[in-house]
Amino acid sequence: MSALIDGIRKNRFVVFGRAGMDMFADPPGTKAEAAESFRSDLGGSSANICAGLCKLGAQSALVTAVSNDCVGRFCTNRLKHYGVDTQYLRVLDGEYRISLAVYESTMDDFQLCIYRNNAVDFQVTADHVDAVDYGAYGALITAGTVFAAEPSRGSTFRAFENARAAGIPRIFDIDYRPYSWPSPDVAEEVLSRAGEQSDLIVGNDEEFGFMAGGRDKGLNKARDLASKPGRIVIYKMGQEGAVTLADGQEIRTGIYPVTAVKPNGAGDSFMAGLLAGIAEGRDLRDAVLRGSACASIVVSQPGCAPAMPTTAQLDDFLANHPGPTEV
């Protein structure tokens, strides 16, 4: 585990996955179909992780493809706004399009509509990932969405090989989105393969359950993955907190209850808070709790990237919140 922790503590991350444009109904509480105005900002799981890391004082670079249109340029500009290194963005012509997510800031029958037709981020190729200077980073991060289609599936596994050759750990957020995959069977096989090649795996009970063939088998799947020496697995259970499995130990942590306005963005913020906490030299339990606090902050505000907290905002939240819950 020391190699994984040492890599994270360099606080420089290369992240693979998608960027997208978020449009959320304004003002908060408005249903999307009744909205007269929408706010826009950066979205997409990997882009959100990048923005969250930068706001917590880390360095992050995103490896992805964006469309050669106004929406692709919007996302590129917002990545730069949050301090994300965009040197590994490739701009593609043609009919490929960057993702668009339309949602609302209300938990009352929450709706999220994602447009992923001809998704440009699936067009990341082997030569693209080979151009990355892996030695410049402490760790590689990817969200599971990149594995849903070719050529990004094969190229991201190639990036895993490149990272291993460079001696940097691989961090995997399962992030299973059924609509992106050709079939559940393909998803189960590919995500399990990615998990076996990763040094830190983060997912929720449904995702581990899916990989195991049943939600009741999810925790045992996480335990099995965590049996590899040096690997950390974090099994999230929503309102019931999380179980962190490392070195034969199981660390149970609670959550920070808030009044949520939306459910999305929590996992991305958790990952950023977790890694930033480890990078600061905090122990694993404290880092997981900081990740949980980041998740609570994000679901309590509109948007994803703009809701990611800074270090000062996170510290203020922790100082004034009575949590976490007991487990």
Give the C-alpha distances (Å, rounded to integers) separating 79 from 85, 178, 215: 8, 26, 36
3 state DSSP class of 76: helix
pLDDT of residue 1: 66
The contacts of residue 151 (CB under 8 Å, 6+ apart) are: 122, 123, 124, 125, 126
pLDDT of residue 215: 83
Q: Is the pTM of this model over 0.85?
A: yes
**Spatial separation of the C-alpha atoms in residues 262 and 54, rounded to whole Å:** 23
Number of H helices, E strands in the chain: 11, 13
Assigned fold of 2-320: UDP-N-acetylmuramoyl-L-alanine:D-glutamate ligase (3.40.1190)
Helices (H), 65-151: 70-81, 126-130
289 and 47 Cβ atoms separated by less than 8 Å: no
| Domain boundaries of the chain, sorted by first residue | 2-320
If residue 290 lies in a helix (H) or strand (E), which one and from where to where? helix 284-299
pLDDT of residue 171: 98
pLDDT of residue 327: 84
Burial 13-32 (b: 16+ CB within 10 A, else e): bbbbbbbbbbbbbbeeebeb
pLDDT of residue 214: 87
Q: Average pLDDT of each block of 10 consecutive residues along the chain (327 residues)?
A: 93 98 97 97 98 98 98 98 98 97 97 95 98 98 97 98 98 94 94 96 96 91 96 97 96 98 97 98 97 98 98 98 93
User: How many whole angstroms from its chain centre is CA 289?
Assistant: 16
Give me 98's structure tokens.
């960057």
pLDDT of residue 294: 98
Give me 44's structure tokens.
């997409």
Give me 48's structure tokens.
């959100």
The 3-state secondary structure of 93-138 reads CCCCECEEEEECCCCCCCCEEEECCCEHHHHCCHHHHHCCCHHHCC
**Spatial separation of the C-alpha atoms in residues 220 and 158, rounded to whole Å:** 28
